């Protein structure tokens, strides 16, 4: 694939047509803001929330992710041939295990743990941090590989959110640097619209965006590398059906003095599919400009419980909150947070 192959001459009519509401296929995360903004959102949501301590801990995790991502780190990048081969095959270029783990992810983990240890007092979270700090490289790699492959058997559920947080930093940096090194050919269209075109990750939630050509466009947000990829609205992210899509959201309990989870109406909803029975949350920036797909997913666990009472199954993945095994069993399993 050469750069010139992507150049296409457009007629004036085509150019005019493109100006109206043409959304970019990919929305890359800005390393300077992605985890910092998430930490801010988590602290905002934690105020008065029944899961306050959990959300504050996750804000500390996001702050630590921001610190680690901002620090200098040398990582291996893919070659042009490696990227071109994926483009020809229509597969995500940096998907595990096509892209294998290298030791830089463990450096990210150890720096993340050190940053967190400075904030966390004694307790269960401290024990998890200490345990990971003294764990051997092969154990850590094995846990990371299980997490990336969706294998819950043998996965340490208490440690998984921290391992996931380190993998997010590693992959966010990897995708950012790869895109910077090969801006015209790094990440093209792939055959499977359900996974991240960069890393093959599952979505954590959808984001309805605001501003310019993006206004109203829906992006699935990658649970791993934090890239957004475009999908038309009112479409199931699990089976891609456009029939029988409905939305559910939390309403303040009648008579309650204060809602326990207060975001503007319509800001966080579950997009439910009657065809396959799955749902994925969608956060709407037009209703609340500060929504974050990961933070708002964590803060709206009550919505998962409400929707799963109807028999709906959760689609997608949030590394900071794993729903036991398998994700379909959300009703029976409490989230395994590292509090
Ligand atoms: Zn990704
Ligand atoms: Zn569906």
Q: How much is the pLDDT for 8?
A: 43
Residue with tokens 């990048």: 77
For the record, the structure tokens of 325 come out as: 């095994």
Region 4-21 average pLDDT: 43
For the record, the structure tokens of 203 come out as: 């979505």
Residue with tokens 């456009």: 242
**Cis (ω within 30 of 0) for the bond into 260?**
no
Residues 246 and 121: their CA atoms lie apart, in Å, by 43
Query: How much distance in Å is there from the Cα of 328 to the middle of ligand 1?
Result: 22
Give the confidence band of 255 by pLDDT, cuts at 50, 70, 90: low
Cβ atoms within 10 Å, residue 41: 24
Residues 83 and 207: their CA atoms lie apart, in Å, by 27
Ligand number nearest CA of 237 is 2
Whether residue 295 is predicted with pLDDT greater than 70 in this model: the reply is yes
For 38-86, how does the pLDDT look when each residue is reduced to its tens digit (9 = 90+)? 999 999 999 999 999 999 999 999 999 999 999 999 999 999 999 999 9
Between strands 228-230 and 313-314, the pairing is unpaired
Cβ atoms within 10 Å, residue 335: 19
Query: How much distance in Å is there from the Cα of 79 to the middle of ligand 1?
Result: 18
Query: How much distance in Å is there from the Cα of 149 to the middle of ligand 1?
Result: 14
Q: Considering the entire predicted model, what is its pTM?
A: 0.89
How many helices (H) does the chain have, and how many strands (E)?
10, 8
For the record, the structure tokens of 18 come out as: 């493109």
Q: How much is the pLDDT for 261?
A: 63
Give me the residues paired with residue 282 across strands: 206, 269
Ligand number nearest CA of 172 is 1
Ligand number nearest CA of 198 is 1
Query: How much distance in Å is there from the Cα of 195 to the middle of ligand 2?
Result: 14
229 Cβ contact list (under 8 Å, min separation 6): 25, 26, 27, 193, 196, 197, 219, 220, 222
Ligand number nearest CA of 235 is 2
List residues, by chain if needed, whose CB lies under 5 Å from ion ligand 2. 236, 238-239, 241, 273, 275-276
Phi, psi (rounded to 5 degrees) for 119: -105, -25
Query: How much distance in Å is there from the Cα of 275 to the middle of ligand 2?
Result: 5
Query: How much distance in Å is there from the Cα of 237 to the middle of ligand 2?
Result: 7
Give, rounded to a whole angstrom, the gap between the first and last alpha carbons of the chain.
48
Ligand number nearest CA of 226 is 1
Region 286-305 average pLDDT: 96
Query: How much distance in Å is there from the Cα of 158 to the middle of ligand 2?
Result: 31
Query: How much distance in Å is there from the Cα of 174 to the middle of ligand 1?
Result: 10
Region 191-208 average pLDDT: 97
Question: Do residues 104 and 170 touch, judged by C-beta distance below 8 A?
Answer: yes
């Amino acid at each position: 694939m050469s750069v010139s192959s992507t150049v296409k001459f457009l007629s004036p009519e085509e150019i005019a047509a493109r100006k109206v509401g043409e959304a970019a296929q990919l929305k890359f995360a800005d390393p300077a803001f992605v985890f910092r903004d998430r930490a801010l959102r988590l602290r905002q949501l934690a105020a008065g929330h029944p899961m306050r301590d959990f959300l504050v801990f996750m804000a500390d995790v996001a702050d630590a992710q921001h610190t680690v991502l901002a620090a200098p780190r040398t990582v291996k990048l893919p070659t042009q041939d490696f990227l071109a081969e994926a483009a020809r095959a229509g597969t995500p270029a940096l998907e595990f295990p096509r892209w294998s783990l290298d030791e830089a992810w463990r450096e990210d983990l150890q720096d993340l743990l050190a940053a967190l240890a400075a904030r966390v007092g004694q307790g269960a979270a401290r024990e998890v941090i200490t345990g990971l700090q003294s764990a051997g490289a092969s154990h850590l790699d094995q846990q990371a590989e299980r997490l990336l492959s969706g294998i819950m058997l043998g996965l340490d559920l208490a440690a998984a959110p921290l391992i996931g947080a380190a993998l997010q930093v590693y992959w966010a940096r990897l995708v950012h640097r790869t895109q910077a090194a090969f801006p015209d050919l790094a990440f093209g269209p792939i055959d499977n619209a359900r996974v991240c075109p960069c890393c093959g990750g599952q979505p954590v939630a959808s984001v309805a965006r605001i501003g310019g050509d993006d206004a109203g466009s829906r992006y699935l947000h990658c649970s791993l590398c934090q890239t957004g990829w475009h999908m038309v609205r009112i479409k199931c992210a699990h089976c891609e059906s456009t029939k029988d899509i409905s939305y559910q959201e939390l309403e303040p309990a009648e008579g309650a003095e204060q809602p326990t989870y207060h975001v503007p109406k319509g800001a966080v909803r579950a997009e439910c599919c009657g065809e396959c029975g799955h749902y994925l949350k969608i956060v709407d920036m037009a209703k609340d400009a500060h929504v974050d797909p990961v933070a708002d997913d964590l803060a709206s666990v009550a919505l998962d419980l409400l929707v799963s009472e109807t028999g709906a199954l959760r689609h997608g993945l949030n590394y900071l909150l794993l729903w036991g095994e398998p994700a379909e069993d959300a009703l029976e399993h409490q989230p395994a947070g590292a509090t």
